[in-house]
Amino acid sequence: MNTIVTGTCSLVLALLGWGEVEHWRASKRRLGSAVPRHGTSEAIVVLGFRNRGNRINAVNRWRVRAGLRSLDRAEGRLVLSGGPAGGGRPEAELMADYARGVCGYSGELLVETESRSTWENVRNVIPLIEDADRIKLVSHSLHAEKARAYLWRQRPDLATRLVKARDYRFGEWLLIKPALALLGLRNLRRIARSSVG
């Protein structure tokens, strides 16, 4: 019995550790190389998650907080992206209400309310981030990497300005990181095999 318990615990710990490592690795991939060291502006793009109904869900609340903690500069702008993919109100509007009302964010904030997929999120925010010296895409780490891959495909000139966001934190979302890693790695493999998003 003790062997079964020990084996099960070891397997669970290994799985949780694997999920953590995959997210950490993803947070460092597909970043730009031509980012100006002393650029004065940055755009933090927060990608919405399918929100059913007219109340912001837990995932979108977390993504807004991760976006806010990714702001490094006074000239930073928060760009919230997401249409009404799962409910009545666009995800970007729900996230904007949360950023302003609950989190107390008072800086520059732009919303993009038409997107229904990650490819569209990236495509539709391009006019809102073209002038930024530094660009951060915020979501869980593998989804953010997927968005960075899409920006490299759609606008490689802008992708050279990609810098690391603060969406990865050790232990955060620990129990679901393995599932998110499996889904994320599958999606990244699909991107690598396809010629479009």
pLDDT at 40 over 80: no
Separation between Cα atoms, residue 192 and residue 197, nearest integer Å? 10
Domain of residue 187, residue span: 2-193
96-130 burial: b if 16+ Cβ within 10 Å, else e? bebbeeeeebeeeebbbbebbebbbbbbbbeebbe
Higher pLDDT, 40 or 158: 158
Bridge partners, residue 44, by sequence: 78, 136
**pLDDT tens digits for range 168-192:** 988 888 788 888 888 888 988 888 8
Mean pLDDT of 34-55: 82
CATH number, domain of 31, equals 3.40.50
Name the β-bridge partners of 162: 135
Identify the residue whose tokens are 């302003």: 100
Q: How many domains does the chain have?
A: 1
Report the percentage of the chain scoring pLDDT > 90. 63
CB atoms within 10 A of CB 9: 10
SS (H, E, C) 13-64: HHHHHHHHHHHHHHCCCCCCCCCCCCCCCEEEEEECCCCCCCCCCHHHHHHH
Q: What are phi and psi of 140, to 5 degrees?
A: -70, 155
Provide the percentage of residues in the chain whose pLDDT is more than 70: 94
pTM of this structure: 0.89
Predicted confidence at residue 196, as pLDDT, reads: 61
Query: How large is the C-alpha radius of gyration of the chain?
Result: 17
pLDDT at residue 80, as a whole number: 98
Per-residue pLDDT at 139? 96
pLDDT level of residue 53 (50, 70, 90 thresholds): confident
What's residue 86's pLDDT?
Answer: 74
Q: Report how far apart, in Å, the C-alpha atoms of 38 and of each of 43, 48, 102, 120 are.
A: 14, 29, 32, 30
pLDDT digits (tens, 9 = 90+) for 122-170: 999 999 999 999 999 999 999 999 999 999 999 999 999 999 999 998 8
